[in-house]
Structure 1
Amino acid sequence: MLKNTFTIFFIFLLSHACFSQRAADQKISEQLLENTSSRPKLVVGIVVDQMRYDYLTRFENKFGEGGFKRMINEGFNCKNNHFNYVPTYTGPGHASVYTGTTPKYHGIIANYWYDKESKERVYCAGDSKVQSVGTKANSGQMSPHRMQTTTFGDENRLFTQMRGKTIGIAIKDRGAILPAGHTANAAYWFHGKDEGQWISSTFYMNELPKWVKDFNKEHSVSKYLTTWNTLYDISTYTESGPDLNNFEGGFKGKETATFPYNLDDLKDKNEGYEILKATAFGNNLTTDFALAAIEGEQLGKDDYTDVLALSYSSPDYVGHNFGVNSKEVQDTYLRLDKDLERLLNYLDSHVGENNYTVFLTADHAAIDAPAYLQSVRIPAGYLDFKQTRERFKAFMEETYKASDLVENISNNQVFLNREKIKALGLNLQNVQEAIVNELISYKNVDKVYSATTMATTQFNTGIESLMQMGYNQKRSGDVLIVPDPSFISYSRTGSTHGSGLNHDTHVPLLFFGKGIEKGETLQKTSITDIAPTMSALLGTSFPNGSTGTPLEFVLD
């Protein structure tokens, strides 16, 4: 009898505890729903890889009303938006947009860099500890583990008790992974070659979701391997240079870099499906996959804000190949405008017109091909690293009677062998300064600074300030070099980026949708202001390393 009474009493306590826990969980859910009711159901962050601000104004008359123009006319346009650090590369750019800080703090100092501990070159998203998902190739061995701070998507995940989703999508792995952050539900990128598949890594999952498998099966990338001709009559493309010129790269197997391009015929000589990356159709593929993700993941369908980090990688490939003044770049942006319109219309119908917020920016801009600039008498040119390296090597050997004091030279930085310097009884700071004084005398070298200067002197303006915000004491080199303006290390065709000059730092910043004011400003804004602005809109904590300022005038 006593035993039965105890059992009944225990069951009562257990059921009461379970009921209390359910009630507590219900109360937490109700509080979260109350807190999130005024927030957008979905935030879509769009980063266009290699987009100059003047593309918005130069191609304006050719854009439709539903893409870029809709965001400008119905949203907020920050016309004087810049990167506030160097180098202006893809990895650092995507990380900075979403973390609200610079390489000085988030640690993504370049796409690739020399790692001073392992003594090897590392990739910003590379991770040998994870495995590919969706392919047997090693192109899936990626994660955000080298990024040292959180993104606003991470903070939204924490705020919603992991109920709000974050999905990253880009053709480039780094364009999907770094924006998605550390807590993302998934990041997907495109593996071309002979497969043409969207893939991921075991950092996120062990198997691709059904909707991704279905997309890979049903949306065969072969359909994008069509003929790339201009969207409109090429004679109307008066905002770009002549189609036939000496400043473009083109594709293997085609004698001239001129329209049209039969991609199916050219693919075998251009790494198979990889050719899609360097065409406007890469953006079509990305948009199609993004729409499938919104549906497959049911983004924006509940009361907890989701984040879609969407990056358009193809404009960068096109720009590198053909140059910023090419007909190919113009056509790519006119077609991207159509993709943007398609995306916004889909969001209207599937999430609701007043239920989502979008921002659009770029990870960097780009310079005109220096060969073209030279042809119109603007100072520009190409760096001869071979000659510079030989002279510098001779200087080091003559000065210090040693040939191994320099471990690596990359990203315009010199990495010294500190153990060797110590073993020889040399003073590190003195060696750094001696190199500074040597390199500043070289042709096409504009400025040189030591790591000691970067760490001990506060710069507030100019290129020195940008260098300092890109300098990471743990990861950057001992000596930092700035080439002459508009001098690059690149082929004589196509365009590149990386400097702190306006042609690389000035990028669009458009806000649109729920919680956004209508307007524009010429007040200078920084790329690092985007993440804290999104955090302010969502009412979450700022990313833990954020140094940007919320743009109060953008928010409704």
Structure 2
Amino acid sequence: MKFVLPAALALLAAMPAAAQQAPAPAAAPQTPPKLLVVISVDQLSADLFAEYRGQFSQGFARLLSGAVFPSGYQSHAATETCPGHSTILSGVRPARTGIIANDWTDFSAPREDKTVYCAEDESVPGSTSSNYTVSDKHLKVPTLGEWMKLADPGSRVVSVAGKDRAAVMMGGHKVDELWWWGGKGFVSYAGRVEPAMVTRVNASVTERIAEAQEPMELTPFCRARSRAVPVTPTFSVGDGRFARAAGDVKAFRTSPEFDEAILALGAGLATDMKLGQGPHTDLLILGASATDYVGHGLGTEGSEMCLQLQALDQTIGKLFAVLDRTGIDYAVALTADHGGHDLPERNRDHAAPTAARVDPALSAKALGAEIATKLQIAGPTLVGSTAGDVYFAPKLTKVQRAAVQAEAIRRYSAHPQVQAVLTRAQIAATSAPKGPPETWTLLERARQSYDPARSGDLVVALKPRVTPIASPGAGYVATHGSFWDYDRRVPILFWRKGMTGFEQPLSVETVDIAPTLAALIGVKVPVPIDGRCLDLDSGAGSTCK
């Protein structure tokens, strides 16, 4: 597959391969960089990164020459997109960002739909959690971009992502340009003036989607991973090559084409706005979302993910080449909002016989109905899904709530697919964790995803390798969100021209990224945070002074 968007992507597509390599070594920089580039690759688990790092030759290869932390942690329990992105540039975990999940239940919401999406304004008349107005109102803390603007109002912040929640949670409350994929093109808050680059990219994307896409060519490494795995009697994944019919927007989104459009828009805005070329330090935030769509829809271990990551490596390399041409001094941080777990059907073929899909009887609706029948309570008793936050129905009396809680705990605890069921009181009483995040208890992990105004009355943890998708289908065969390290561990990489690289295999956290970058540019952290500065000097010196 060769994906070239005329004009808008010329900045990326025209760069020769040789220009994508890391610049020649230089003396260690003595002054702060003029541009920070933060890239989040949605669903890039540490396991996936380890599997493919030997195949990278372009963008990831450059990052691997810098400071490499292969065992970064999204250390909380609710390892979903919105909570994960809220940690990356805030320095705090979801318990303090307020972003406990992609959505939660708020029985006081001013509408019939009581589900609240993490990046919406539910007070907008006529809105629902699936048809919403994007907002940053639920993010309770400032982000790195806001710290920078507080220290220097001339600093500019640009946030571009494939998902609104990624752009909003990393960009924060004060952005100069904020754009995300709206289904047919890149969009922003109502009333924002559309820059010429956004107009050009949208026109080019529309033109590209209108064309059919031939299958990508399999490299030998990807060919070895190409095998059809039946998911249902009529549906299989694992041997796809991203062939796409003309006009298929969904297939465009679930392909390497999507990430190239996202990074091209970011590169284009950075070039047009001359980010890093003025007297102030600027911030460019990029949320590459295609890996997540591929992981959910096609799994993590087939030809599709292989082609996706190899293409992303080249796209990131082209982004760096564009920035190199400007001659600016820039620093890069790359991480992910969460990890991911492959589909159980293929896991079982790959020596993981305990991998399974969740029992439909564990859904809050099904289990709540059984409880209602036993306790002779009319109507629903539990609200939620099959794992994570579960809420008691608001109509229950105090006595009924106690009876429902006891029965729910009994039933969840007795189920062979449930590791633990934690109560609101247990979680709230848990102290802040100490020590490396891989050693935290389930309660400590849950505490870092807990907000008393938004979290459930119970939190259900499924056992390892139990996928919370009872009935898979096209576009949704695998997922993430668990307490377990395959969803919590992500790579964290830093690079800057002239730095001496090193690798630290011990665990760090994504909340460490913001203070690390702040120290690099001499910006004081203005609020209490959970993270710490990571020293990027490989010797006796320190970048955290």
Shorter-chain TM-score tier:
0.7 to 0.9
Q: For residue 129 of structure 1, report the CA deviation from its aligned partner.
A: 6.7
Pairing 1:68–2:68 present: no
Aligned equivalent of 1:416: 392
Q: For residue 369 of structure 1, report the CA deviation from its aligned partner.
A: 1.2
Task: Pick closer, same or farther for the CA change 1:300–1:411 going to 2, 3 Å.
Answer: farther
Q: For residue 456 of structure 1, report the CA deviation from its aligned partner.
A: 1.3
State the alpha-carbon separation in 1 of the partners of residues 134 and 237 from structure 2. 36
Secondary structure of 1:475's counterpart equals: coil
State the alpha-carbon separation in 1 of the partners of residues 104 and 234 from structure 2. 28
State the alpha-carbon separation in 2 of the partners of residues 364 and 550 from structure 1. 21
State the alpha-carbon separation in 2 of the partners of residues 458 and 152 from structure 1. 27
Q: For residue 321 of structure 1, report the CA deviation from its aligned partner.
A: 1.2
Matched pairs, number: 491
Secondary structure of 2:147's counterpart equals: helix
State the alpha-carbon separation in 2 of the partners of residues 52 and 160 from structure 1. 35
Pairing 1:399–2:375 present: yes
> What one-letter code is carried by the residue in structure 1 that aligns with 2:464?
P
State the alpha-carbon separation in 2 of the partners of residues 299 and 258 from structure 1. 41
Q: For residue 361 of structure 1, report the CA deviation from its aligned partner.
A: 0.4
8 Å CA contact 1:170–1:189 kept in 2: the answer is yes
Task: Pick closer, same or farther for the CA change 1:154–1:317 going to 2, 3 Å.
Answer: same
What stretches of structure 2 of length at least 5 have no aligned partner? 1-29, 434-439
Secondary structure of 1:59's counterpart equals: helix
Q: Normalization by structure 1: what TM-score?
A: 0.81
Matches for 1:498-513 after TM superposition, within 5 Å: 498-513=481-496
State the alpha-carbon separation in 1 of the partners of residues 214 and 293 from structure 2. 15
Pairing 1:237–2:212 present: no
State the alpha-carbon separation in 2 of the partners of residues 321 and 509 from structure 1. 25
Aligned equivalent of 1:473: 452
Which residue of the other structure, out of 262, 283, 304, is the alignment partner of 1:328?
304
Which residue of the other structure, out of 114, 118, 140, is the alignment partner of 1:120?
114
Task: Pick closer, same or farther for the CA change 1:50–1:446 going to 2, 3 Å.
Answer: same
Cα-to-partner distance string for 1:457-499 (whole Å, 9 max, x where unaligned): 3374222211111111110000110111111122457321111
Task: Pick closer, same or farther for the CA change 1:230–1:404 going to 2, 3 Å.
Answer: closer
Matches for 1:295-334 after TM superposition, within 5 Å: 295-334=271-310
State the alpha-carbon separation in 2 of the partners of residues 382 and 53 from structure 1. 23
> What one-letter code is carried by the residue in structure 2 that aligns with 1:237?
C
Which residue of the other structure, out of 423, 432, 435, is the alignment partner of 2:408?
435
State the alpha-carbon separation in 2 of the partners of residues 492 and 176 from structure 1. 28
Matches for 1:142-153 after TM superposition, within 5 Å: 142-153=134-145
Q: How well do the aligned residues superpose, as a CA RMSD in angstroms?
A: 2.9
Aligned equivalent of 1:531: 514
Matches for 1:105-116 after TM superposition, within 5 Å: 105-116=96-107
8 Å CA contact 1:532–1:549 kept in 2: the answer is yes
Matches for 1:31-50 after TM superposition, within 5 Å: 38-50=31-43
Task: Pick closer, same or farther for the CA change 1:250–1:472 going to 2, 3 Å.
Answer: farther
State the alpha-carbon separation in 1 of the partners of residues 214 and 260 from structure 2. 12
Pairing 1:381–2:356 present: yes
Larger radius of gyration: 1
Secondary structure of 1:211's counterpart equals: helix
Q: Normalization by structure 2: what TM-score?
A: 0.83
Task: Pick closer, same or farther for the CA change 1:87–1:462 going to 2, 3 Å.
Answer: same
Aligned equivalent of 2:48: 55
Aligned equivalent of 2:7: none
Which residue of the other structure, out of 402, 407, 419, is the alignment partner of 1:446?
419
Aligned equivalent of 2:8: none
Secondary structure of 1:415's counterpart equals: strand
Cα-to-partner distance string for 1:262-285 (whole Å, 9 max, x where unaligned): 3134x4xxxx42321101111111
**The structure with more helix, counted as a fraction of residues:** 1
Aligned equivalent of 2:201: 215
8 Å CA contact 1:165–1:307 kept in 2: the answer is yes
Q: For residue 314 of structure 1, report the CA deviation from its aligned partner.
A: 0.6
Secondary structure of 2:396's counterpart equals: helix
Task: Pick closer, same or farther for the CA change 1:332–1:543 going to 2, 3 Å.
Answer: farther
